[in-house]
């Protein structure tokens, strides 16, 4: 089977069968050899959706296997996951098409003898599956949450009892790793955690920051409208939201540097940093340069921004964005050269550090499956080191901004509190935990995260 001849469903199965630990990267490699268009969009939807909903799909499959613990050979698991994802969560694909394609896939992936098994499982699920219902999904053992405002019922319960085993219920119904479900239930309660799970399983909005050096939001909206591209303003009053499925790289407004992809929560971090024109700014962990370029825009492309990251490849991504956006005040530096910078020499330092990504699970399909308490502890230790290092470069009277895409306290306010204990020069002036929201309204979508602002004495 050549990739060029494969369907979107086959691409999804091939990507999901990646054993290297990065399904998203494998999908991108496969798609790089494809023509793109609707096939690309569907392949991405099926692959990323199946990753996000993995534990829900597993629960459904187990419930309808004659031998629930049976290990299916070869690609049959992935074929069934892709088909079940379509039956449960995509209303635009006819059920018969999803079933028939899965049966044919069994043959294409050398499982022709199991085609009857695939057909039987999927048709049994369909018989037990209710139609799509409108309204907030009830927290029930027989309810599959589809979106914040829709759900499906099954004829039989398949999840744990939410009143008795809430973490196990959320692991199945919201497809959350049990360690994350456990800590979120402890912090937020069952209902709020279910809402966070729905956001994590939703399709994120494509949000674009307007490059204030070249255009304003209305100009961008007008040009998109003239090009026949559906778009609207974001609720933050600054950004633009595209309809799903638009190929951003093919848009003229992107090629000419009028816009840059950036979630509203990330945009708010740079606005809090409030850099002034002619300032000296240091951006730690800067690739791909989204916040770097936003800071430069807010500075009216005057002053200096030193963007730091760990590899030349990451620095080249920053440079590519600065060129496209018409920014020429950014200088790049490898992280191992940071010690050569004079201490206390920057007006503003941004430390947007690597984290567990628990605030952006809707955008990063595989992030939830990398979460563990052990990994969280290691990340928190690294973050304390990075913020302490960053603080050394803030001049007296300057500002340090610390941010993450995590909503875990170990990576947020606990890191901020640690810095104030070990560095009396740094005074915490504001901090905020932003929980993900807007899953039911593309124009209000925002990721979760944490931001803290310090003044240096």
Using one digit for the tens of pLDDT, what is the confidence trace for 36-69?
566 888 999 999 999 999 999 999 999 999 887 7
CA distance 256 to 207: 17
Does position 234 have pLDDT exceeding 80, yes or no?
yes
Could you tell me if residue 426 is left (phi over 0), alpha (psi between -120 and 50 degrees) or otherwise beta?
beta
CA atoms within 13 A on the CB side of 363: 21
By three-state DSSP, how is residue 2 classified?
Answer: coil
CA distance 406 to 355: 6
By three-state DSSP, how is residue 120 classified?
Answer: helix
pLDDT digits (tens, 9 = 90+) for 385-395: 999 999 999 99
By three-state DSSP, how is residue 76 classified?
Answer: helix
β pairing state of 330-334 and 346-352? unpaired
Sheet holding 133-134, edge to edge: 133-134, 150-153, 143-147
Give the pLDDT of residue 38. 66
Give the pLDDT of residue 63. 95
| Chain position carrying tokens 């309810």 | 143
434 and 446 in contact (C-beta within 8 Å)?
A: yes
What are phi and psi for residue 266, nearest 5 degrees?
-65, -40
pLDDT digits (tens, 9 = 90+) for 394-413: 999 999 999 999 999 999 99
Give the pLDDT of residue 34. 64
Which residue in 180, 264, 262 sits closest to 437, CA to CA?
Answer: 264
Give the pLDDT of residue 6. 62
DSSP bridge partners of 437: 446
Tell me which DSSP letter residue 269 carries.
Answer: H
Q: What is the mean pLDDT of residues 179-191?
A: 98
In this structure, the chain runs to a length of 457
CA distance 377 to 392: 24
- pLDDT, the chain, mean: 95
CA distance 329 to 322: 9
Residue 293 Cα to chain centre, angstroms: 20
The token pair at 390 is 């960053």
Rounded percentage of the chain residues whose pLDDT exceeds 90 = 89
Does position 379 have pLDDT exceeding 50, yes or no?
yes
CA distance 279 to 346: 8
Tell me which DSSP letter residue 213 carries.
Answer: T
């Amino acid at each position: 089977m050549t990739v060029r001849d494969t369907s979107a469903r086959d691409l999804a199965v091939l990507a999901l069968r990646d054993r290297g630990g990065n399904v998203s990267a494998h999908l991108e490699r496969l798609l790089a050899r494809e023509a793109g268009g609707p096939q690309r969009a569907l392949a991405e939807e099926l692959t990323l959706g199946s990753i996000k909903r993995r534990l829900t799909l597993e629960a459904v499959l187990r419930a309808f296997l004659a031998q629930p613990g049976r290990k299916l050979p070869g690609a049959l698991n992935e074929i069934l996951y892709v088909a079940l994802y379509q039956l449960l969560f995509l209303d635009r694909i006819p059920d018969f098409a999803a079933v028939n394609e899965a049966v044919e896939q069994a043959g294409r992936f050398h499982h022709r003898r199991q085609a009857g098994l695939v057909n039987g499982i999927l048709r049994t699920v369909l018989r037990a599956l209710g139609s799509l219902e409108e309204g907030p999904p009830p927290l029930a053992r027989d309810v599959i949450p589809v979106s914040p405002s829709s759900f499906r019922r099954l004829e039989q319960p398949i999840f744990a009892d939410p009143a008795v085993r809430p973490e196990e219920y959320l692991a199945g119904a919201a497809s959350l790793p049990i360690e994350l479900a456990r800590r979120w239930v402890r912090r937020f309660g069952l209902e709020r955690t279910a809402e966070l799970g729905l956001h994590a399983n939703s399709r994120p909005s494509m949000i674009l920051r307007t490059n204030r050096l070249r255009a304003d939001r209305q100009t961008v909206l007008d040009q998109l409208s003239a090009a026949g591209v559906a778009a609207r303003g974001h609720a933050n009053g600054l950004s633009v939201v595209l309809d799903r499925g638009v190929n951003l790289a093919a848009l003229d407004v992107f090629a000419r540097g009028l816009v840059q992809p950036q979630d509203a929560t990330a945009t708010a971090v740079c606005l809090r940093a409030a850099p002034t024109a002619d300032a000296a700014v240091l951006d730690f962990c800067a690739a791909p340069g989204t916040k770097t370029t936003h800071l430069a825009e807010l500075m009216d492309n005057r002053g200096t921004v030193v963007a730091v990251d760990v590899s030349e490849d990451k620095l080249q991504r920053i440079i590519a964005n600065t060129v496209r956006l018409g920014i020429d005040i950014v200088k790049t530096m490898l992280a191992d050269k940071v010690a050569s910078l004079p201490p206390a020499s920057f007006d503003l330092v941004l430390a947007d550090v690597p984290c567990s990504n628990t605030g952006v699970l809707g955008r990063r399909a595989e992030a939830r499956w990398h979460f563990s308490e052990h990994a969280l502890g290691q990340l928190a230790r690294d973050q304390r080191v990075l913020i302490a290092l960053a603080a050394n470069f803030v001049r007296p009277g300057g500002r340090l901004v610390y941010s993450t895409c995590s909503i875990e306290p170990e990576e947020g306010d606990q890191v901020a509190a640690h810095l104030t204990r070990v560095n009396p020069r740094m005074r915490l002036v504001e901090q905020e935990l932003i929980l993900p929201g807007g899953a039911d309204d593309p124009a209000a979508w925002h990721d979760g995260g944490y931001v803290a602002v310090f003044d240096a004495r």
